């Protein structure tokens, strides 16, 4: 016996044995890898950036065989990753598999050392007090702690002791603050439910986290900028400044050397240096889009350099003679500037050089404010400066001086200003170039130079005199310029809007006058239309009455009525005693006609009972009564002037056919689309001429043969088909007598439901007898439910289990429909909609739904379908304020209603009928990817994606659970895949394969 059978679950001996004997068998390594990959992928951006850019120490607590450590080390190669477990077997295997990593064993799971980051993946659910374990871990964590656990696991795994929700983890715990709590879906291969990722951060880590988030936003800004920037050619201003900068760097490094541009952007300055051919150039930027742009610029000029994707803020190795940057520091505050300069200095052996816009350049401010006011400023916050000595000294560098350059750029600002004529622009340029304007004010850029250690001196162009040591003044100047630009833009926009309003006012006045004139004319014409309509109505009423009378006189019904009237006159002459008796009999008949529908239905059921006693089923008298009723019903439904199609014409038009399939009268075609409708449609698509005989009891009304689709026809009289030989007959139990009238048919008996479903004219014994005959004599037997299949397989081992299916394309909507008018208020209110469509009959659990509706008054319960046996009216369910019954809807309308179900349900009572039921709507719900809650019916329970409520207590809870699961992409994908696998096309392939296995060729040829 294994130790796991003796030791307490989750104890160290239990885990030792589990790792030795069951870990690999349960795909433990695959789970560990998958869980760690999902944890890393879903870490907040700030935490991913922290691990990617720093040499942090990470501990994987509960590392098992080390597969999670491998994922962490590969994803964050700069970090030092260790694993810890309290099972010796696990640590030994981890060391064997990954010898380069550090794995630690402690018998009680204690950590001991401190780590920057601690990761705990799918471990805390094994503890009865997980928060206590978490607090112990936080004492050893300097930065942040990330944990992954199952979310709302129900029922709990036998080894799990705690269920987790977001609210299980407090906002603050042990001096740490919760910064993330995200629910994520899981691949059911590794975990069948959802998972919860929670991240806690220490106070010291939080102080730096804001800077990380700012840095992420900066990267996104520049990625977006360079991703959309077209390939530009270097202009005169850029070329002149590049030459000047190359000259300054050449003075510092007369023998050439290794130069790094840290935060290179497009790399224009490095391009100028590369063209001199004296320097080994490296370009670094944290924006991959900027680096890609710089690479393309260098390739365009056939120059080479090294390109490094890196973060200047993080420290590097001192391997460059000079590290410079242009156009970055102005986007950061003082502390960030100091940190950036330190990052530059860590990579330099001697010089650090930085360039920013010059605060003393007047034309820069004017140009910038004009661009900002018109929304053409893409660079965000930018703070020009006049003195950078304080930042250099705070970064630990010796400050050597400033140099002012980029005068050609300042001239570009003057030339690019809008609203200045050519003469004034030339005058401004002349003044700008004159000695009146100091050199420092003509320059667009100011460069600051520093070095590591002491240097004898710098070339004379580097001035040590301070332009201004007040960093606050730089900030206020930039803020004032931005505010002024906003004011200018607002005033300009205000003027535009005032002009637009004035124009609109004129249009409104003109339109008002036109409306008044049209209103008078409309009133006059309306009166004339009313007068003419009255005349037209009088003429049409006489004309229509004449037409209707002519049509009626041509109908069989009219001639039959005349015939009946003559018979009545012979049998009961006017004024005779028999005529007077007839007048007396009219009163009770009129009273019966005035009864409410429910009372008439009850009366009809009573009359059917009397009819069964007077004309029992199976007797010649019973057959005579049924035949007469059907003929009268067909005669009653015949319509005038309908050009009938006869059988010969149908056969001529469908010579290219695989065979002929007939469905005897059982259900109207246009009343509640059910299994027979779908199977006959599929037979037609498979190449068979399909003839659907409608009893025309509910909604159908036609004569002869009516085409519905290619090779699919409705037929009003099965008697016209008896001359067909060898055709296929698809029938339910009620079609036996029709089957006997065909010559050598191939019978497919479709065992639809438990025989107790139909409250028909037939007795239970009679139905059972016909059922047994069909089971014994049919060539193919289908059963829609496993229970029915098990029953019939005892007599027919070759019976085929063929449940209901779905017309996938009909119910899977790619474009959301508009809400139907009768539920638009529910949709707009945003309330969850619990929906059901189908027959409302005695097998529907009205009390279950009523209880759920009473508990959850904030939900809307929507019922669609006919009150099949008046059971809905008896239970009065629709009287509840949050229950809405819409009655029957057409099959074509159902997808639009189903689209707005929050949860689709099948709340049937559990009895012999429903245990043998395969609900047609089940796979239709799935095709619409709606979460499904049913009662405990075997055919529903067998589908993993169906949520089953076994009693009334569970029903409301399972409806709420379904709403949560409906948000899961993996759950909706499972619903969709299940629907695709259970289409009516798939069912038809089963049936045709069964037919092909029979020796039926002679029947099909004769057809």
Tokens linked to 978: 């299940």
Model pLDDT for residues 284-296, shown as the tens digit of each residue: 998 999 999 999 9
CA-closest candidate to residue 257, choices 245, 265, 267, 249: 249
DSSP string, 122-182: S-GGG-SSHHHHHHHHHTTEEEEEEEEEEES-SSPPTT------GGGS-SEETTEEEEEEE
- What pLDDT does 363 receive? 78
Model pLDDT for residues 510-538, shown as the tens digit of each residue: 887 888 888 778 877 877 787 777 777 66
- What pLDDT does 622 receive? 57
**Confidence category of residue 596, pLDDT binned at 50, 70, 90:** very low
DSSP string, 81-111: EEEEES-HHHHHHHHHH-TTSEEEE-TT---
The least confident of 10-19, 348-357, 574-583, 963-972 is 574-583
**Is residue 468 scored above 70 in pLDDT?**
no
Tokens linked to 555: 């109908």
Tokens linked to 904: 């689709």
| H helix and E strand count, the chain | 38, 29
The least confident of 179-183, 373-377, 972-976 is 373-377
- C-alpha dihedral (160, 166, 172, 174), degrees to nearest 10: 10
**Is residue 650 scored above 90 in pLDDT?**
yes
- C-alpha dihedral (812, 815, 821, 826), degrees to nearest 10: 80
Cα separation values, 699 from 118, 123, 470, 663, 669, Å: 69, 62, 90, 18, 8
**Confidence category of residue 454, pLDDT binned at 50, 70, 90:** confident
Model pLDDT for residues 323-343, shown as the tens digit of each residue: 999 988 888 889 889 999 999
**Is residue 75 scored above 70 in pLDDT?**
yes
**Is residue 623 scored above 70 in pLDDT?**
no
- What pLDDT does 99 receive? 94
What is the pLDDT averaged over residues 951-974? 91
What is the pLDDT averaged over residues 462-482? 56
Tokens linked to 143: 């930065």
Model pLDDT for residues 576-589, shown as the tens digit of each residue: 666 666 666 555 55
**Is residue 758 scored above 80 in pLDDT?**
no
Q: Report d(CA 14, CA 87) in Å as an integer.
A: 9
- What pLDDT does 640 receive? 42
Q: Which residue has the higher pLDDT, 592 or 322?
A: 322
Give percent of the chain above pLDDT 90. Answer: 55
Residue 679, Cβ neighbours under 10 Å: how many? 25
Sheet holding 194-201, edge to edge: 102-105, 80-85, 57-61, 115-121, 141-151, 194-201, 176-184, 172-173
- What pLDDT does 763 receive? 74
**Confidence category of residue 1005, pLDDT binned at 50, 70, 90:** very low
Model pLDDT for residues 872-882, shown as the tens digit of each residue: 999 999 999 99
The least confident of 25-34, 102-111, 434-443 is 434-443
**Is residue 386 scored above 70 in pLDDT?**
yes
- What pLDDT does 550 receive? 64
- What pLDDT does 471 receive? 46
Q: Which residue has the higher pLDDT, 364 or 39?
A: 39
Model pLDDT for residues 900-917, shown as the tens digit of each residue: 999 999 999 999 899 999
Helix axes 362-373, 471-553, angle to 10 degrees: 20
**Is residue 108 scored above 80 in pLDDT?**
yes
Q: Which residue has the higher pLDDT, 436 or 990?
A: 990
What is the pLDDT averaged over residues 968-986? 95
Eight-class DSSP state of 375: T
The least confident of 119-133, 229-243, 351-365 is 229-243
Sheet holding 746-751, edge to edge: 705-709, 712-715, 688-693, 659-663, 728-731, 746-751, 780-783, 800-801
Residue 812, Cβ neighbours under 10 Å: how many? 17
- What pLDDT does 183 receive? 95
What is the pLDDT averaged over residues 653-669? 92
**Is residue 738 scored above 50 in pLDDT?**
yes
What is the pLDDT averaged over residues 257-272? 92
**Is residue 430 scored above 70 in pLDDT?**
yes
Are 445 and 245 spatial neighbours (Cβ–Cβ below 8 Å)? no
**Is residue 4 scored above 60 in pLDDT?**
no
Q: Report d(CA 393, CA 443) in Å as an integer.
A: 24
What is the pLDDT averaged over residues 810-826? 94
Cα separation values, 635 from 21, 159, 548, 556, 695, Å: 78, 71, 19, 8, 12
Q: Name, of 176-185, 535-544, 555-564, the range with top average pLDDT.
A: 176-185
């Amino acid at each position: 016996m294994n130790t796991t059978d003796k030791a307490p679950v989750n104890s160290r001996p239990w885990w030792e044995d589990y790792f030795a004997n069951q870990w690999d068998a349960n795909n433990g390594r695959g789970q560990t890898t998958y869980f760690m990959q999902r944890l890393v992928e879903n870490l907040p951006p700030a935490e991913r950036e922290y691990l990617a850019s720093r040499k942090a120490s990470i501990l994987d607590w509960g590392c098992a065989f080390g597969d999670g450590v491998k994922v962490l080390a590969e994803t964050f190669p700069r970090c030092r990753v260790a694993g810890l477990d309290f099972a010796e077997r696990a640590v030994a295997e981890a060391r064997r598999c990954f010898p380069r990593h550090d794995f630690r064993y402690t018998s009680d799971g204690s950590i001991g050392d401190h780590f920057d980051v601690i990761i705990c993946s799918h471990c805390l659910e094994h503890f009865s007090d997980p928060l206590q374990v978490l607090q112990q871990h936080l004492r050893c964590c300097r930065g942040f702690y990330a944990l992954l656990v199952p979310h709302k696991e129900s029922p709990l795994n036998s080894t799990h002791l705690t269920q987790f929700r977001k609210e299980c983890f407090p906002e603050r715990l042990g001096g740490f603050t919760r910064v993330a709590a995200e629910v994520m879906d899981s691949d059911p291969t590794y975990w069948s439910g959802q998972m919860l990722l929670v991240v806690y951060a220490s106070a010291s880590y939080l102080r730096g986290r804001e800077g990380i988030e700012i840095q992420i936003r900066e990267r996104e800004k520049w990625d977006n900028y360079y991703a959309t920037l077209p390939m530009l050619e270097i202009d005169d201003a850029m070329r002149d400044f590049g030459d000047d900068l190359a000259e300054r760097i050449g003075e510092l490094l007369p023998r050439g050397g290794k130069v790094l541009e840290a935060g290179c952007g497009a790399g224009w300055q490095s391009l100028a240096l590369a063209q001199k051919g004296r320097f080994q150039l490296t370009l670094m930027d944290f924006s991959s889009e900027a680096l890609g742009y710089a690479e393309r610029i260098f390739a365009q000029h056939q120059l080479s350099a090294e390109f490094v994707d890196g973060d200047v803020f993080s420290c590097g190795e001192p391997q460059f003679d000079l590290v410079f940057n242009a156009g970055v520091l102005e986007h950061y505050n003082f502390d960030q500037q100091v940190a950036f300069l330190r990052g530059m200095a860590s990579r330099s052996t001697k010089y650090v050089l930085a360039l920013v816009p010059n605060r003393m350049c007047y034309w820069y401010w004017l140009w910038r404010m004009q661009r900002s006011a018109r929304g053409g400023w893409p660079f965000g916050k930018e703070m020009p400066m006049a003195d950078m000595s304080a930042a250099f000294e705070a970064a630990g560098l010796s400050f050597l001086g400033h140099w002012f350059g980029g005068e050609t750029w300042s001239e570009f600002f003057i030339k690019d200003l809008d609203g200045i004529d050519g003469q004034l622009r030339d005058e401004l340029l002349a003044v700008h170039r004159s000695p009146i304007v100091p050199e420092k004010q003509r320059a667009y850029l100011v460069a600051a130079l520093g070095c590591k250690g002491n240097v004898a001196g710098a070339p004379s162009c580097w001035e040590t005199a301070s332009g201004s040591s007040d960093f606050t003044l730089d900030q206020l100047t930039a803020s004032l310029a931005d505010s002024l630009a906003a004011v200018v833009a607002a005033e300009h926009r205000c003027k535009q809007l005032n002009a637009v309003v004035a124009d609109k006012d004129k249009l409104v006045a003109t339109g008002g006058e036109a409306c008044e004139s049209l209103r008078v004319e409309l009133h006059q014409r309306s009166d004339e239309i009313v007068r003419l309509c009255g005349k037209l109505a009088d003429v049409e009423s006489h004309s229509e009455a004449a037409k209707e009378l002519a049509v009626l006189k041509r109908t069989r019904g009219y001639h039959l009525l005349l015939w009946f009237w003559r018979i009545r006159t012979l049998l009961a002459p006017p004024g005779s005693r028999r005529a007077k008796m007839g007048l007396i009999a009219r009163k009770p008949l009129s009273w019966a006609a005035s009864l409410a529908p429910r009372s008439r239905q009850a009366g009809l059921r009573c009359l059917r009972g009397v009819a069964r006693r007077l004309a029992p089923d199976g007797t010649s008298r019973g057959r005579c009564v049924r035949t007469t009723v059907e003929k009268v019903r067909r005669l009653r439904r015949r319509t005038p002037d309908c050009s009938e199609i006869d059988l010969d014409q149908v056969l001529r038009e469908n010579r290219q056919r695989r065979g002929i399939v007939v469905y005897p009268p059982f259900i109207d075609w246009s009343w509640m689309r059910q299994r027979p409708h779908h199977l006959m449609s599929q037979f037609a698509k498979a190449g068979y001429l399909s003839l659907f005989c409608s009893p025309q009891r509910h909604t159908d009304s036609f004569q002869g043969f009516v085409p519905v689709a290619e090779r699919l026809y409705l037929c009003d009289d099965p008697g016209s088909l008896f001359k067909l030989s060898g055709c296929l007959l698809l029938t339910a139990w009620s079609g036996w007598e029709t089957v006997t009238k065909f010559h050598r048919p191939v019978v497919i008996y479709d065992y639809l439901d438990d025989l107790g479903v139909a409250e028909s004219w037939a007795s239970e014994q009679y139905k059972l007898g016909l059922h047994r005959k069909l089971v014994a004599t049919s060539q193919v037997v289908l059963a829609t439910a496993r229970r029915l299949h098990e029953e019939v397989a005892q007599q027919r081992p070759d019976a085929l289990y063929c449940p209901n299916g779905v017309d996938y394309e009909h119910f899977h909507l790619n474009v959301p429909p508009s809400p139907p008018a009768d539920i638009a208020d529910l949709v707009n209110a945003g309330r969850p909609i619990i929906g059901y469509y189908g027959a409302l009959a005695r097998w529907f659990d009205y009390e279950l739904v009523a209880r759920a509706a009473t508990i959850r008054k904030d939900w809307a319960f929507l019922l669609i379908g006919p009150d099949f046996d008046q059971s809905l009216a008896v239970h009065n369910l629709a009287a509840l304020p949050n229950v809405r019954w819409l009655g029957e809807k057409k099959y074509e309308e159902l997808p639009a209603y189903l689209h707005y179900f929050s949860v689709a349900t099948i709340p049937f009572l559990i009895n012999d009928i429903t245990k043998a039921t395969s609900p047609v709507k089940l796979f239709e719900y799935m095709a619409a990817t709606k979460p499904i809650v049913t009662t405990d019916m075997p055919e529903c329970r067998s589908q993993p994606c169906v949520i089953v409520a076994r009693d009334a207590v569970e029903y409301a809870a399972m409806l709420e659970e379904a709403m949560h699961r409906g948000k899961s992409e993996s759950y909706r994908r499972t619903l969709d895949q299940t629907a695709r696998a259970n289409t009516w096309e798939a069912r038809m392939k089963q049936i045709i394969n069964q037919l092909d296995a029979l020796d039926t060729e002679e029947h099909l040829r004769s057809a």
